Structure 1
Amino acid sequence: MPFTLATWNINSVRLREGLVADLLETEAPDILCLQECKSPVEKIPMERFRALGYTHMIARGQKGYNGVAILSKMPIEDVGDKDFASLGHARHIAGRLENGATIHNFYVPAGGDKPDREVNEKFGQKLDYLTEMRDWFHAERPERAILVGDLNIAPREDDVWSHKQLLKVVSHTPIEVEHLGAAQEAGGWVDVTRKDIPEGQLYSWWSYRSPDWDAADKGRRLDHVWATPDIAGAAHGSRILREVRGWTQPSDHAPVFATFDL
């Protein structure tokens, strides 16, 4: 049965409850994966989402920070989470659909401002997080799996507005791209978005600091949809809903969509 999945760093699910509801009403994905929920699980406004048909949720939360959730119209079983790099953060959750597909929802650490682990502990944590992702995928090779989320890295030159100007900016540095690539290779993951949209500049995030984000268009593709090779061929219809970045009091991320015929 085909299903459409979306991933969105919402930057506070309670603050932007209305925007989530708007997306669920207008786009109606079967599954919505959220990151940076910034809420304890019990305070996620599920009553409103349930009324829109999203009767299933699995989540991990923290007050004010991090947090991941999967909202689904389809039955989904909570199959756990991993605390990569032992940070004690709510940054990963996995759910299994009745068709056997497992969905991993990730919120990789942003990594702070300076791309140097000697002076910036957060950057080291980000690299360690990615290394442990790699090692896990090596040890337990995923099958029939989809990985989505804010991975906080724009890997390709055309995933950023200026490759040259961002080479020393956290999210596009060579060492981050290398670490993300190693994690991707370890799981055999296929970048579904770029499979469907192989050419051209493509962004999912635009900074709040830009007074006119749309005209300046200094974006980065930080949000990703991957799939294991055994089901990647069933994925299609990838798109980034750029206009959501222009909604009232928006997240600085736009949702990324893909459809799977499974």
Structure 2
Amino acid sequence: MKIATWNINSVRLRIDQVERLLTEQAPDVLCLQEIKVAEHLFPHEMFERLGYTHRAIHGQKGYHGVATVSKVPFRDFSKHDWQDNGEARHIGVELLGPGQGMILENVYIPAGGDVADREVNPKFGQKLDFLERMTRWADAIDRPTLIVGDFNIAPLECDVYDHKALLKVVSHTPVEVETLKRFQDAHGWEDMGRRFIPAPERNYSWWSYRSYWRQKDQGRRLDHMWASPELAPQARGHHFVEETRRWEQPSDHIPLVTEFEL
């Protein structure tokens, strides 16, 4: 079972890139974040043509949105409003057939704005509250679960190009790292990115559009795939697909892929 995740930053704008990824990497399941489209306008045709006949979409017009597409049958399992404002940021499915019983959670955690202070930047407080709601949810999980997506946090010192320079930059501040760690500890999640690419090896998934990424390599590891304790031992490999960042008009994020023997 090969599962991929990618913040595509508009699925309609980059539908050709999604098709290329599906053709070259051939995942069984692909989780997309920031699809930026309402559900009734989602571009189904390409996925249907390539055999991704099972699709769960939680979208909205112009912003956010997540979608899970699969060759493997699944059923819709959950839609949580961890943002507590109706934004489309999560969808969960339960795999049927191959991988039966595994829960796959697809999440887009808020970026949190530019200032790491909830008093002057409400978006930062919303991000921390989102994670706290996720933590309460994770504390009660009783099924083999894989949670994937754009977490918008680089937790380890080696997950950013310059730890000291980014300590006050949203996505790598101590309060975000500590809040994400509480979420991890609530269920004992295992980080697939560091299980197979151990720290401090380079393992970035995002580069800003504002910097020439290939020259400066000012990356951060914002995207993650975390497995339940009972699921993690069945993982057989994990890699990132960095060449997508070199494609024309790319997403600022790259895909991650984890393979399981279920």
Report the TM range for the smaller structure's normalisation.
over 0.9
Q: CA deviation at 1:192?
A: 1.1
Letter of the 2:225 partner, please give it: V
Q: Partner of 1:238 in structure 2?
A: 238
Q: Aligned-pair RMSD on alpha carbons? A: 0.8
Distance 2:236 2:218 in 1: 27
Letter of the 1:97 partner, please give it: L
Query: Matches of residues 108-127 of structure 1 in structure 2 within 5 Å?
Result: 108-127=109-128
Q: CA deviation at 1:236?
A: 2.3
Q: CA deviation at 1:80?
A: 1.6
For the 8 Å contact 1:56–1:75, the answer to whether it is kept is: yes
Instruction: List gaps (5 residues or longer) in structure 1.
Output: none
- The CA deviation string for residues 90-131 of structure 1, in whole angstroms up to 9 with x for no partner, is 001000001100000000000000000000010000000001
Instruction: List gaps (5 residues or longer) in structure 2.
Output: none
Distance 2:126 2:195 in 1: 30
Q: Partner of 2:54 in structure 1?
A: 56
Q: Helix, strand or coil: the match of 1:58? A: strand
Letter of the 2:162 partner, please give it: S
Q: Helix, strand or coil: the match of 1:230? A: coil
Q: Helix, strand or coil: the match of 1:79? A: strand
For the 8 Å contact 1:92–1:104, the answer to whether it is kept is: yes
For the 8 Å contact 1:142–1:228, the answer to whether it is kept is: no
Distance 1:134 1:171 in 2: 18
Structure 1 segments of 4 or more deviating over 4 A?
Answer: none
Letter of the 2:5 partner, please give it: T
Query: Matches of residues 2-151 of structure 1 in structure 2 within 5 Å?
Result: 3-98=1-96, 99-138=100-139, 140-151=140-151
Q: Partner of 1:179 in structure 2?
A: 179
Distance 1:142 1:36 in 2: 28
Distance 1:155 1:184 in 2: 11
For the 8 Å contact 1:142–1:187, the answer to whether it is kept is: no
Q: Partner of 2:228 in structure 1?
A: 228
Q: How many residues align?
A: 258
Letter of the 1:234 partner, please give it: Q
Q: CA deviation at 1:42?
A: 1.6
Distance 1:85 1:54 in 2: 29
Distance 1:68 1:261 in 2: 26
Q: CA deviation at 1:201?
A: 2.1
- The CA deviation string for residues 25-76 of structure 1, in whole angstroms up to 9 with x for no partner, is 1111110000000001121111111101111100100000000000101001
